[in-house]
Amino acid sequence: MSTGSRDALVAEARTTGTLAGLPDGHFIDGAFVPPAAGRFMDSEDPGFGRPFARFASGDGADVERAVASAGKAARGPWRRMSPAERGRILMRAAELVRAEAARLVVVECLDAGKRLAEAEGDVRGVARCFEYYAGACDKLQGDSLPLDADHVGLTVWEPVGVAAQIIPWNYPVSTAARGIAPALAAGCTVVAKPAEQTPFTALMLADILARAGLPAGVLNVVTGTGREAGAPLVAHPGVDHITFTGSVPTGIGVIKAAADNVTRTVMELGGKSPLVVMADADRDRALDGVMEAIFENAGQICSAGSRLILQRAVADPFIEALLGRIARLRLGHGLDDATDMGPVNSALHLSRIDAHVAAARRAGNTILTGGAICHPDGCEAGHYFAPTVVLARGLDDPIVQEEVFGPVLAVTVVDDLDAAIAAANATQYALVAGIYTADLGQAFRFARAVDAGQVYINEYFAGGIEVPFGGNRKSGFGREKGLEGLRGYCKLKSIVARI
């Protein structure tokens, strides 16, 4: 990424409060189009707490047009295009993402409140995502089935059809790419609905893919609220698959809507992920992992390590060192390179985080640091919550059980590995778990015993697009990323021929 171009865009955003040329229409049938009802919404910069751009407020009519476009494209040349050519389009998209990374980064900072470093990492991941699935397009192969001498049996993977993507506000551009890239690699067409808080980078990705050679109608983006645009999309009979990332209550509603049409779903829902630190762990490495696990993106991560489980022998010195690190965190706008933690996404979400912590305080939990809304200099109207650590009074307390989705860490102290495993499995969620220990035997005993879609050992958020991601229990089902994510957009056909 060119630092010069990034710095110029940052200067423009700080001077004007926005960036020129942001799309304000839906992207349907290969072009930006105005909303059918002519209505628009404002998108807010959460760092300053003020609107910075407007976008189309879509409804059922826009969804109908987008699904029709995707359905037509699914039956057209896109389905007949060779996997190798699909791969070339995705590779050109990866190159364009890298070339235009600075603009995507600054828009993500304005729209989602991310720090520049966080947004840069996300955009690098987007380019890698398209690159990875570009290479996978012509590797999606079936099996030969061992039958008798008079028959030949084989399986083939076929695209499932029109795939709907419901994209969350916490990782807008990376989650969009995580669903769009494998769907296109499999030969599907897509209708994406980004969160109403963060619509712009999904629209920009659609434009990039069109310029990379994606045929009209293969990728469509409809913006607007969940009620007016998201609900008609997931209930549409022309949709063959839904990938949803978001809260458990909303996900349950999506599953119910999909059931009426027997539409396939992949659900990536909430988390309350445990991060265990054993007495023999490398303390500095574990502290690095804990800080990133809960304060990256202001804790607004489904897989955040929001529950710290400490072995009693090291609990007191570890907490003391952790509080010392937290005291040095600098809060501020994401466009400021000096910022260590940015805002949360909205005033509404800020109030929800505050309510969780207030309830924990009333219930008798100990607030070790933070625990309040704050107002960094120059960002007084933004949405900031102080980095918070809560010493939990027990595993049954809501601060341990419920997803806060903010910079709030619940701490539990245990005696040994068995107690750590029991604590790790003590919630309704099963998305991610992590452990820091010098004993790999202990680490793998933990990895096998804990219920989670992925387990990190001695590094939290380890891996990349190659590693399948998803949860169990209330954290959802299905997998994204990796080759499992590609197969999720396919249907398997068996063919048997008599010789």
List active site positions.
Answer: 268, 302
| DSSP state at residue 480 | B
If 0-12 CB within 10 Å is exposed, 13-18 middle and 19+ buried, where does residue 331 land?
buried
φ, ψ dihedrals at 405, nearest 5°: 60, 50
Query: C-alpha 236: how far from its chain's center?
Result: 24
Residue 335: DSSP 8-state: T
Q: Is the separation of the CB atoms in 5 and 102 below 8 Å?
A: yes
Sign of the torsion angle spanned by Cα atoms 135, 138, 144, 145 = positive
CB 437 within 8 A of CB 443: yes
Can you tell me the distance from the alpha carbon of 295 to that of 127, in angstroms, rounded to the nearest whole number?
24
- The residue type of 345 is N
Q: List Cα–Cα distances, 421 to 133, 135, 390, 403, 472, in angstroms.
A: 36, 39, 20, 19, 16
| Contact predicate 425/447, CB 8 Å | no
Encoded tokens for 396: 């049954």
At 250 the three-state DSSP class reads: helix
Identity of residue 61? A
- Residue 371 sits at φ, ψ, to 5 deg, of 90, 20
How far apart are the C-alpha atoms of 328 and 295, rounded to whole Å? 13
Q: Which helix (H) or strand (E) is 219 found in, with range?
A: strand 219-221
Of 277, 274, 295, 296, nearest to 286 (Cα)?
Answer: 277
CA atoms within 13 A on the CB side of 144: 4
Distance separating alpha carbons of residues 335 and 106, to the nearest angstrom: 8
What is each CA distance from 336 to 32, 289, 326, in whole angstroms?
32, 23, 19
